[in-house]
Amino acid sequence: MRRLNPFANIPTIMSAEEIIEFAHNRSTRISMKSSLRMKKLERTRIREITRLQEFSKQVKLKLSEAVEEFPSIERLHPFYVELSEILVGNDKLKQSLGAVYNCIPTIDDITDKHLQAIKLAGEFKQMKKSRSAAKGRISSLLRATAKNVDFIIEAKKTLSKLPGIAPNSPTIVCAGFPNVGKSTLVKAVSTAEPDIAYYPFTTRKVIIGHLRVDNHSVQIVDTPGILDRPMAQRNEIEREAIAALKYLAHVIIFMIDPSEACGWNFDQQLNLLAEVQKMFPMNPLLIVLNKVDITQPEMLAAARKRLPESHEIVAVEGVGVEKLMRDAVEEVDLTPLQETVDDYLASLQK
Ligand SMILES: Nc1nc2c(ncn2[C@@H]2O[C@H](COP(=O)(O)OP(=O)(O)OP(=O)(O)O)[C@@H](O)[C@H]2O)c(=O)[nH]1
Ligand SMILES: [Mg+2]
């Protein structure tokens, strides 16, 4: 199954200064054959023209690579669009890409004008002066847009660290308050290696693990803990968790810690559960009571009464997790597409 992070394979993007230096080195290293019968003035003319053309070509190449190799935001999976908005800001990103790309016609203008001047020049000095004037102007143009190039480089760095998702694999997203044991479950059942700790806010970004359930390849998403508060007050990290629920989840596992060892009480967790159910009414949602090994009997009894349909697990020991995964996958429509098409075609013939 192909996993993709559309930002993972962007080639290195050079900073404005690096581009200038690279293009300069290329242009001064140009060697060419010329006839010795040609007058020295004409040889110089050709050399200056070639140097300027090479400088301009390399700068444009590096700028267009930076922009064109960057995935087009409009064509991304919505999960990445949202994450890019949260982590980088899509308007600012588009603005920076546009500003960098817009330098290219101006570079062409500067190059053409100065090439013309070199072609018409009558002496060596004039030729060299035109060539360095052109390189100077192109370099200043690049320096003026350096902050846009830097923004693109930073965006690439941030976004290339996002997890790769397999867009067509059944996806279970595990959510809940901080410290309830989400990462412990994801680690127990999948290839993911999230950090686990006794304190809250350990997981700070979305992590994806893979597993097989009854011969199906499934992905499970560990999310940062979310608090029971309005969307507008949510921080970047919580908004990443919400984006995973919104754009990746075929099934949601909502984990509750009835022992309250996580640091939040049962009622607060119930409020969050109600909010998640309200936000994603179409998603199948399995309620999981974790840490039943350390939950006081009366608290467990109360939790069972409030949430009679819930699964009970001990994530640290792997108790109940296999059954949970199987039930989760059962909620996903795994009928192969071809079967659906065949059924449809058969129904037409009746
Ligand atoms: N006793 C007991 N402890 C558990 C169980 N599951 C997890 N824990 C402990 O609970 C603490 C939090 O576990 P994590 O898996 O890091 O919790 P999390 O929900 O991913 O936390 P954040 O990433 O901070 O949101 C750790 O100390 C775990 O060892 C369980 O079933 N029983
Ligand atoms: Mg965690």
User: What confidence tier does 255 reach under pLDDT thresholds 50, 70, 90?
Assistant: very high
Residue ranges of domains in the chain: 16-159, 171-334
Tell me the per-residue pLDDT of 19-39, one tens digit each, with 9 for 90 and over.
999 999 999 887 666 666 678
**Ligand 1, closest atom to CA 204?**
23
**Residue 185 scores a pLDDT above 90:** yes
- 116-128 pLDDT, tens digit per residue, is 999 999 898 999 9
Fold of 171-334: Rossmann fold (3.40.50)
* Alpha helices, H only, 29-145: 40-68, 78-87, 90-101, 103-120, 124-144
Q: What tens digit of pLDDT does each residue of 257-306 get?
A: 999 999 999 999 999 999 999 999 999 999 999 999 999 999 999 999 99
Cα separation of 208 and 245, whole Å? 13
Write down the architecture of domain 16-159 according to CATH.
Up-down Bundle (1.20)
Smallest Cα–Cα separation from 3: which of 161, 148, 219, 195? 219
Ligand 1 neighbour 180 (Cβ under 6 A): yes
Q: Is the CB of 200 under 6 A from ligand 1?
A: yes
5 vs 342, more confident = 5
Confidence of residue 215 (pLDDT cuts 50, 70, 90): confident
Domains 16-159 and 171-334 share a fold: no
For residue 200, which atom of ligand 1 is closest to its CA?
24
Of the two residues 221 and 335, the one the predictor is more confident about is: 221
Over residues 82-93, the mean pLDDT reads: 97
pLDDT at 350 over 90: no
What pLDDT score does 4 carry? 84
Structure tokens at 89: 């800001």
> How far does residue 217's CA lie from ligand 1's centre (Å)?
25
Residue with CA nearest ligand 1 atom 10: 181
Q: Where do the H-state alpha helices sit in 190-255?
A: 236-247
Taking the CA of 200 as reference, the closest ligand is: 1
